[in-house]
Amino acid sequence: MEKVIVQWDFEPSVIVGCTLLFAAYVATNGWNSTRAAFFLAGDAFLLLALVSPIDVLADHYLFSAHMVQHLLLVLVVPPLLLMGVSESFVNTLLRARPIAQLEKFLSSAPVAWTGFNLALWVWHLPALYDATLTAEWIHILEHLVFLTTATIFWWPLVTPHEPSRLNTAPSVVYLFTAALSSSLLGILITFARPGLYSAYSNPTDSFGILALIRNSWELDPATDQQLGGLIMWVAGGFVFLGAILVVLHRWYSEYQFQASASANK
């Protein structure tokens, strides 16, 4: 266990990038303690996903660790970052007509939903997935595509720009169908033949921890693949369920407020 704990991948470009991202946020959105806390949390999870032992295990040893990393990049980081964005900052950007037109197109539910789910399925095709583990530039591209499409996906749900925000019923359908799509992919991976992702069948033991993983953790390639599929299927499903409950809670709170206001007239 100790060997894994100390294997952090302190990639300078990632650390500098996350630092500059938060600095740019403060410069453009100001400092609101609540919003800044959300953005900082998203930035911290992004850093955790890309430099912590999760990244080392994902890149070299475990498909299941890669699924944890992917869930952080598509279901945790983007909504937290967007929840930190101020309405005034968005309104300033939307004054530029090209940006406003692009935002209107991308915030369309069919466009945002399709881009997110298409990226998820395409990048988990075995040939393309294995390529990300052998070519660093493909791996970087994969992460950028995930972050971009996931940010677009979450925008209609948590945007501070009210005209672009989905109403309650469409939001529930949007999230529920995305959960079904993600769960189906997770189910297919869970019950697929062992060795679906060949890069993890006989990994190069660059850090000398393969024996620990195989013997102490009892994670052989078949079990690792099943665990990864379950993480996408079950853990991802719980994130979507949580988002649906937040949407319903928001609707109920607004309903209660309006009912109270009407009763006091």
Along the chain (265 residues), what's the average pLDDT of each consecutive run of 10 residues? 60 92 93 92 96 91 95 97 94 94 95 97 95 92 97 96 92 97 97 92 84 89 95 96 94 73 64
CA 49 – CA 65 distance, rounded (Å): 10
Domain that holds residue 124: 2-263
Question: Residue 17, exposed/middle/buried by CB under 10 A (0-12, 13-18, 19+)?
Answer: middle
Separation of CA 165 from chain center: 19
What pLDDT shows up at residue 1?
Answer: 46
Q: Which two tokens stand for residue 220?
A: 């052989």
What pLDDT shows up at residue 259?
Answer: 64
Residue 206 has φ and ψ, to the nearest 5°, of -65, -30
Would you say the pTM of this structure is higher than 0.85? yes
Please answer whether residues 110 and 158 qualify as being in contact, where contact means their C-beta atoms are separated by less than 8 angstroms.
no
CA 220 – CA 103 distance, rounded (Å): 45
What pLDDT shows up at residue 212?
Answer: 87
CA 49 – CA 150 distance, rounded (Å): 15
Please answer whether residues 51 and 8 qualify as being in contact, where contact means their C-beta atoms are separated by less than 8 angstroms.
yes
- Residue 195 gets the label, from left (phi > 0), alpha (psi -120 to 50) or beta, of left
Please answer whether residues 186 and 233 qualify as being in contact, where contact means their C-beta atoms are separated by less than 8 angstroms.
yes
Q: How many CB atoms lie within 10 A of CB 58?
A: 25
Q: Could you tell me the CA-to-CA distances from 78 to 24, 60, 72, 128, 150 in Å, in that order?
A: 16, 25, 9, 23, 6
Report how many domains make up the chain.
1
